[in-house]
Amino acid sequence: MRFSIVVPVHNNPADLSVCLSSIARLDYSKSDFEVVVVDNNSSDDTAEVARSFGVAVLVEAEVQSSYAARNRGIRAARGEFIAFTDSDCIVDPQWLSEIEAAIEEGVGCLAGEILSAPPATLVERFSDEIGLLRQRGPLSGWHFKPYAQTANAVYRRRVFDEIGLFDPSMQSGGDATLAWRMQDRTAYTLKFVPSAIVHHHHRASVPELWKQFRRYGTGKMSWAFAEPDYVPPDIAKLEAEAVAAFDKAVLALEEAGLDEKALVFPVLRAATQMAHLSGYMQDLLTTVSQGLPLDQVPGHARRLVPTCNLCGGTRFVPGPGGRMAGRQAPQCDECGSLERHRALAAVLDTWDGKDLARRSAICFGEALPKPLAQRFRSVRQARIGERVGGCHEMALVSGFAAQAGGRDLAEVLGQAASSLSPDGMLLLADEAGRRFEAVIGGQTARLTMDEPLLAEVRAHMTNARARAETIADDVTRRGHYFVRVGQ
């Protein structure tokens, strides 16, 4: 399969029908491309419309984000190249043929041009006039570095294999951070293909246009969180530019000699309402940032971004299988740590680092990420049921609920404890509140990773001191329950 066309959609059956009809008219060989529509929690007949075209229809129900939907499509796609367009776009018949002709070795992303569909309203004509969504601006790097907008972008699958997928927590700007990661981490380049055209239906009303540009505004802080070198817009400068735009508009209306009450005063009223909103938002920002000047607020916000306590990374991606923790991606893109690893790091931080570095550890279950394993003198990997010697200063049973599930609890605890030296520490860990079944006294019992488990541990290990604590991962805020047995 040469191309996989991925189309994310949410409650847009009419435009989607037009989009898929245009894809059906492509002059490219039908056996060399597939169409994957990803329904992002639509509440209407969007999915049924997609199925009527005989294309693959997937559902992204966990995260409401076009980037999460695109990720779902990428994971299911079979093509060598992943071509993205949106449900409100119409592709030219030569779209894929023009992309095919432009493919070069070393090019990781091909960006086709995005033109306006014939505008029907004043607002659509305005968007057409200002060249909204044309690719030349983003590709010039005018914001920060070059990027391709996903209304018309084609990536090699290998790019995703090397750098990961879109950031699903973003509402806007995820196409930029993906392209920037590709340029930072690989030798792949972007290429503009102006002859590969899609036509985009612009927003038809002022409220829709407002929402669109407000979403663009949210993307600026998302860029600031993802890119340490990106300088977010200056708040005072943005306000000054808005005031200048209003002033220019009012002067133009006045010079045209138009009716003041009917045409000029409404613009002035809009200016006063925007000034009111600006004053309120600026005072709110100053308050929540404890009195910082406005020009320092973006930097303050950056310091509040979740940080991996293992490597200091600030970029997080979906976990295995695309798992998310609510709206937060849980896996650190730098070191690969997940919630349980960062919670374990917080527990280990309570020990003296030099003391840990002298200890040998045995880990039952998954292997520790490198930043955690490096804290010990040595780490041995084992599994429950495997015979091991009793010479380790620490034994960790990670994912305890899964490891002990269906087994005799006394045997699991006994085997883990038998791997320890006389003064060793046993540490049982799993997500707080996780339920599992284990055999206790010959009977199957239901346990949870909280006080009932601690009581059972104390009952089975009467000669050892046992205590427990719940540690929250700073990134996802999910708690993990740890039972310490020993020192």
pTM over 0.75: yes
Contact 357, 377 (CB under 8 A): yes
Given a cut of 70, whether residue 487 has pLDDT beyond it is: no
**pLDDT-based confidence at residue 77 (cuts at 50, 70, 90):** very high
Give the mean model confidence (pLDDT) for residues 396-423.
Answer: 89
Provide the CATH number for the domain formed by 321-485 in this structure: 3.40.50
**pLDDT-based confidence at residue 70 (cuts at 50, 70, 90):** very high
254-288 residue pLDDT tens? 999 989 999 999 999 999 999 999 999 999 999 98
142-195 residue pLDDT tens? 889 999 999 999 999 999 999 999 988 888 999 999 999 999 999 999 999 999
Contact 353, 334 (CB under 8 A): no
Q: What is the CA radius of gyration of the chain?
A: 28
Given a cut of 90, whether residue 109 has pLDDT beyond it is: yes
Q: What is the share, in percent, of the chain residues with pLDDT greater than 70?
A: 100
Give the mean model confidence (pLDDT) for residues 228-251.
Answer: 92
Domain at 3-226, CATH homologous superfamily: Spore Coat Polysaccharide Biosynthesis Protein SpsA; Chain A (3.90.550.10)
Give the mean model confidence (pLDDT) for residues 6-20.
Answer: 97
CA pair distance 10, 1, nearest whole angstrom: 27
For residue 156, give the nearest of 136, 128, 123, 179 by alpha carbon: 179
Residue boundaries of the structural domains of the chain = 3-226, 235-303, 321-485
Given a cut of 70, whether residue 352 has pLDDT beyond it is: yes
Contact 154, 81 (CB under 8 A): yes
